Amino acid sequence: MTQVVTSTPSTASARATLGGQDIRTLLLASLGGALEFYDFVVFVFFALPLSHLFFPPNTAPWLAQLQVYGIFAAGYLARPLGGIVMAHFGDRQGRKRMFTLSVFLMALPTLAIGLLPVYASVGVLAPVLLLLMRVVQGVAIGGEVPGAWVFVAEHAPPGRVGFACACLTAGLTVGILIGSLTAAWINHHLSQEELLGWGWRLPFLLGGVFGFVAVWLRRWLSETPVFAQLRERKALSRELPLRTVLAGHGGSVVLSMAVTWMLTAAILVLILMLPSLAQKSFGIAPDVAFLGNSIAAFCLGVGCIAYGWLTDRIGAARALLLGSLALVIGTYALFADLAAGAAHFLPLYALVGFLVGTVGVVPTVMVAAFPAAIRYSGLSFAYNVAYAVFGASTATLIGYLAERAGHFAPAHYVALTAVVSMVAALWLLFARRSAAEALAEG
C-alpha cells in the first residue's frame, strides 16, 4: 500500500540538543561533503573554456557551450546508478562504508579531468574522455548526497534533524562557494591565453587533492545509531530495499521527487548557471558575475542553516511553503534588476542566494518520508531519478531558452518548480492533519 511516512528518524538518545560527538560528526561530514561537491560542480564554472578546448575550433560558440552543458548533464544521468547501488549496500551493510566509497570515486575522475588532452591534441577522443570522467563523477555523487543526509539525520537527536540536515546541505554549498571563488580568482589573475593554455586544469587538479583529503577525514566517522539498532534487532530489510520502496512507498517517492525538482532548479539556475547567464544575456562583466556568485553562494549556506533552524520550530512543510514563496519573489526581483541595467545586482543576488537556502528543508522532508530500514534506498532513488530527469535537462534547456525564448525564461522555470514545491508542502500539511485527526478519532 502506498504511503507517506511523516516522522523524523530517532536515535536511542532522547537528547534535544546537539552534543559534542554530534557536532564532531556534523563537522566532519559537512567538510567532506563540501570538498566532494566542489569536485562535482566546478565543471560548470569552467564551461566556457571547456567549450573552446574540447570541441572543433569551427564549432559555433553557442553550440559548443550547449555540448559542454550536455556533458555536464551526463553526470546527472549517471547519478541513479551510483545512488541505487550504494543505497542498497548502505541499507544492508551500513551507511559509513558507502559514505567513504563515494568520495573516493569522486576524487579519481576529478583529478583525471585536470590531466586530459584537449581536442587539438587527440581530436574527438577529448570530449569522449571528458564525458567518461563526468559519468564516473555522477556515479559518485549519486551515492554521496543521499548518504550524507541519511548519515547526519540518523546521528542527530530528535528535534534537531532539520538543523543537522540543513548544516550538511550548507556544507555541500560551501563546495559551490569554493568553486566560485576558485573561478573568480583564476579569471581575475590569468589572461585568456593562460586560462585556455593551462589555467583551466588547476581547479580539477585541486579538486582531486580535495577528494583524497575528504576520504581521510571520513576515517574518523562512526556508524549511525539508527543503523546499529536495526542490525542489533535484526530488523534490516530482508527483501531488496528498492523493491520495498517501489511496492509500498510510492507517495513518498512522488513527494521527494517534487521537492527535488525545486532544489535542482534553484541550485542549477540561480547559483551554478547565473554567472554565465548574466554575462551572455545581460552583459555583466565576468569579475562582477563571479563576485556576485561567491556572495550568493555564501548567503546560500547561511540560508540553509536559517531554514533548518526554522524547520525544527514550525515543521518542514510550513518552512518549505514559506521558503518556496519567497524564492519566487526574489528570483523575479533579481531578473527584473538585471534587465533594467543591474544597478542592484550584488545585493539582490545575495538575497536570492539566501532564499535559495530553502533547499535546506528538502532533506528533512525526504528523510522523514521513509522508514529507517529502507531510508537510504528510498531517498536515493527518488532524489537521483529526479535529479537525472530534471538536472540533466535543466542546464541544456536553460541554455537554449535563455538564447531563444527571452531573458526571463530561467526565472519562469525556477518559479514553476517553486510552485510545485508549494503544492508538495500543502499536501504534507493535509496528510499530517488527516493522520492526526484519524489518530484522535481512534
- Three-class SS state of 276: helix
At 103, which CATH number? Answer: 1.20.1250.20
Rg (CA), the chain: 21
Q: Say if 62 falls within a structural domain.
A: yes
The pLDDT of residue 432 is: 74
Closest CA to 230 of 11, 402, 71, 385: 11
C-alpha cell at 276: 554565465
What's the pLDDT tens digit per position in 55-96?
888 777 777 777 787 787 777 778 788 888 887 777 777 777
H-type helices in 78-124, by residue range? 79-93, 95-113, 119-122
Cβ neighbours, 10 Å, residue 279: 16
Maximum distance among all Cα pairs of the chain, rounded to whole angstroms: 73
The pLDDT of residue 146 is: 85
Q: Say if 419 falls within a structural domain.
A: yes
Task: Give the predicted TM-score (pTM) of the model.
Answer: 0.80
Q: Say if 354 falls within a structural domain.
A: yes
Q: Say if 14 falls within a structural domain.
A: no
Burial class (CB in 10 A: 0-12, 13-18, 19+), 177: buried
Domain membership of residue 61 as a residue range = 20-433
Q: Structural domain tally of the chain?
A: 1
The pLDDT of residue 11 is: 40
Q: Find out whether 65 and 51 touch, Cβ atoms under 8 Å.
A: yes
Q: Say if 348 falls within a structural domain.
A: yes
Q: How many residues does the chain have?
A: 442
Q: Say if 88 falls within a structural domain.
A: yes
Q: Say if 306 falls within a structural domain.
A: yes
- Three-class SS state of 342: coil
Closest CA to 44 of 17, 21, 72, 25: 72
In the chain, which stretches have pLDDT less than 70? 1-20, 22, 233-238, 434-442
Q: Say if 298 falls within a structural domain.
A: yes
The pLDDT of residue 266 is: 94
- Three-class SS state of 427: helix
